Amino acid sequence: MSRIGKLPIPIPAGTEVQIEAGLLRVKGPKGALSAPIPEGVGAELDDGKLRITRKNDSKAALHGLTRSLADNCVTGVTQGFVKRLEIVGVGYRAQAQGRVAVFNIGYSHPIEVLMPDGVDIKITANTKIELSGIDKQLVSQTAANIRGLRKPDPYKQKGIRYAGEKLRKKEGKTGAS
């Protein structure tokens, strides 16, 4: 039995859940999302709780995955998800121009990134980036793509990193003296 899959998902007030063949639709105050329900896994709604079940032990890995995806849908439409990034480096900065974020991060040209639909960006103090949206996968992937523009350097500690990310500083070459 999957330890994650057997946990019930509480459905908050104001959230509507529809279970269809192979699909779970969740509608809430922030929007609507859907999650697939694979073959051999089912969903039941009772007493304001969503339970993910499985027909037999052959789909054990999909049991926990389906429950996590359903939980992310419920959390997304009620609270939303936020990813925070920091830009570290002399002269490194970012600015938002509508749905486009412009990054000056040490290259010879500014880099423009178009935010996908469903992801909102807020830049404060030119170095603090906050991405928010209802789809956890989309928000996290967008944050990873932005971080990949200039990954944190282990020697000089410069680059784009997640807020609170700890980096181990490496020592450079000592040279012949």
State pLDDT tens for residues 117-139. Answer: 999 999 999 999 999 999 999 99
Taking residues 64-73, report their average pLDDT: 94
- For residue 176, name the pLDDT band (cuts at 50, 70, 90): low
Position 6 scores a pLDDT of 87
- Angstrom distance (rounded) from CA 139 to CA 76: 11
114 pLDDT exceeds 60?
Answer: yes
What are the tokens at 143? Answer: 């944050």
pLDDT band at 172 (very low <50, low <70, confident <90, very high): confident
Average of pLDDT values for 83-97? 95
Q: What is the mean pLDDT of residues 35-56?
A: 90
Mean pLDDT across 60-79: 91
pLDDT band at 40 (very low <50, low <70, confident <90, very high): confident
Q: Is pLDDT above 70 for 98?
A: yes
Report the C-alpha gap between 48 and 106 in whole angstroms.
52
Query: What percentage of the chain has pLDDT greater than the value 70?
Result: 97
**Spatial CA neighbour of 4 closest among 78, 39, 54, 58:** 54
133-170 pLDDT, tens digit each? 999 999 999 999 999 999 999 999 999 999 998 989 88
Alpha helices in the chain (DSSP H): 60-78, 136-147
The reported pTM is 0.88
How much is the pLDDT for 59? 64
Contact 24, 45 (CB under 8 A): no
Tokens at residue 164, please? 């609170």
60-78 vs 136-147: helix axis angle to the nearest 10? 90
Answer yes or no: are the C-beta atoms of 89 and 106 closer than 8 Å.
yes
Given a cut of 80, whether residue 2 has pLDDT beyond it is: no
